[in-house]
Amino acid sequence: MILHSLEGPVAITQCLDPSAKGCKRIDGCVARMLWKSLGEKIEDFLDTIHLNDLVKEESKMNG
């Protein structure tokens, strides 16, 4: 949630970036469907990470 707030949505290709100009082949592009699905999985994963998790990991790394 924090990452999404700071960075915006995950856009692993330009055609998925809402702030970029769209691709002319967007309606018939099978690759876009795959990238979109992967992007959703990445966002789902990132939604499971909390600030407290990162703080704990940082503490482990720095002893």
Mean per-residue pLDDT, 49-53:
86
Percent of the chain with pLDDT over 90: 14
Structure tokens given for 20: 């970029």
Of residues 16 and 35, more confidence is placed in 35
User: Cα dihedral angle (35, 39, 41, 45), rounded to 10 degrees?
Assistant: 150
The answer to whether residue 3 scores a pLDDT higher than 90 is no
